[in-house]
Amino acid sequence: MEQYKDYMLRAVAAEAQIRAFAVTARDLTETARRAHNTSPIATAALGRAMSGALMMAEMLKGPRDLLTLQIDGDGPLQGLVVTADNHGHVKGYVRNPAVILPPNASGHLNVGGAIGKGTLTVIRDMNLKDPYIGQIPLVTGEIAEDLTAYYAQSEQIPSAVGLGVLMNKENTVRRAGGFVVQLMPFAEETVIARLEENIRKISSVTSILEEENTPEHLLKTVLAGFDVQITSEEDVSFSCNCSKERFERGLLLLGKEELESIIREGKEIDLTCQFCSSTYRFSLEEIRGILEKISTSS
């Protein structure tokens, strides 16, 4: 079993005029990198999106609620999808994991260039028939700025989002994580001004994590000068809920003719989960069994 050291904090500051979230995500981003064999840019995009989704999902209320971030862009990454629950589990993939681009003007991984122009869609699935869906045009494709814009435009919550992934020379993940800070409607001007000043001073999330690799240190830096009260702490991990049974249900939906043609071809089939790259093999015997289930139920 993978031993995770990543965790997430939830906090309030300035007598609850500010609410804040911070997460470290090195281990879960490294797990995703290995599962999907992602290039450094793809790893950065995925790690940022997963860190953001974990904190956004933490705001959901119901135990079975899910939050999905879907980015569709015209860049070579072709977008990504990540889904998190509010128990600290996240899964996700980029559509083209092999993208390699030169660094951007500031010498960093060019995530914005890999994503390109497009849309950010936030889906909050609250176990109701219709999920809540918000969509905005991408601002920079760097993900943190796009999530900030989403909160401003779709939810009218003034927020600051910082996300970062730093790679080692041998292309493993060195640091990953982020923060979300939100102002409550009754926040006073002095609180807003100080928070803006703090945010302005931050050069990058990964430089803070290089000083000390904890969500506490992220919060302490972003909320410097405020009284900060941590209200919850939760372990976070890359975790997928796929199973062979789920894929069997998918095969059932293919229908009789399709399954008969698979059997005629005489080859077992391998189905791969998009979210975690786990592969499930179905033998001809098993496919025949599924076909029988259809035949007996119709």
Question: Please, which residue, 8 or 273, has the CB nearer to Zn ion?
Answer: 273
Minimum Å distance from CB 66 to Zn ion? 14
Minimum Å distance from CB 286 to Zn ion? 19
The site that binds Zn ion (CB under 5 A) totals a number of residues, namely 6
Please give the helix or strand (H or E) that residue 79 lies within, else none. none
Per the rule left: phi > 0, alpha: psi between -120 and 50, beta: everything else, 107 is left
How far apart (Å, rounded) are the C-alpha atoms in residues 22 and 179? 4
Instruction: Confirm or reject binding of residue 280 to Zn ion (CB under 5 A).
Output: no
Instruction: Confirm or reject binding of residue 157 to Zn ion (CB under 5 A).
Output: no
Minimum Å distance from CB 238 to Zn ion? 10
Judged by CB under 5 A, which of 9, 77, 99, 276 binds Zn ion? 276
Which range of residues in 141-149, 166-174, 203-211, 268-276 is near Zn ion by CB under 5 A?
268-276
How far apart (Å, rounded) are the C-alpha atoms in residues 296 and 84? 37
How far apart (Å, rounded) are the C-alpha atoms in residues 84 and 229? 25
Minimum Å distance from CB 39 to Zn ion? 21
Which range of residues in 68-76, 183-191, 228-236, 276-284 is near Zn ion by CB under 5 A?
276-284
Which range of residues in 39-47, 129-137, 218-226, 265-273 is near Zn ion by CB under 5 A?
265-273
76 phi/psi in degrees, rounded to 5? -65, -20
DSSP 115: H
Minimum Å distance from CB 291 to Zn ion? 25
Instruction: Confirm or reject binding of residue 275 to Zn ion (CB under 5 A).
Output: yes
How far apart (Å, rounded) are the C-alpha atoms in residues 226 and 13? 6
Q: Which of residues 226-255 bind Zn ion (CB under 5 A)?
A: 240, 242
Instruction: Confirm or reject binding of residue 126 to Zn ion (CB under 5 A).
Output: no
Instruction: Confirm or reject binding of residue 273 to Zn ion (CB under 5 A).
Output: yes
Strand-by-strand arrangement of the 228-235 sheet: 159-167, 173-183, 18-24, 7-13, 228-235
Minimum Å distance from CB 293 to Zn ion? 23
Minimum Å distance from CB 126 to Zn ion? 22
Q: Which parts of the chain are beta strand (E)?
A: 7-13, 18-24, 66-73, 80-85, 89-94, 118-125, 132-137, 159-167, 173-183, 228-235, 237-238, 269-272, 279-282
Strand-by-strand arrangement of the 118-125 sheet: 132-137, 118-125, 66-73, 80-85, 89-94, 237-238
- Report whether 259 contacts 251 (CB < 8 A): yes
Question: Please, which residue, 14 or 276, has the CB nearer to Zn ion?
Answer: 276
Question: Please, which residue, 230 or 240, has the CB nearer to Zn ion?
Answer: 240
Instruction: Confirm or reject binding of residue 122 to Zn ion (CB under 5 A).
Output: no
Question: Please, which residue, 231 or 243, has the CB nearer to Zn ion?
Answer: 243
> Binding residues for Zn ion, per CB under 5 A?
240, 242, 273, 275-276, 278
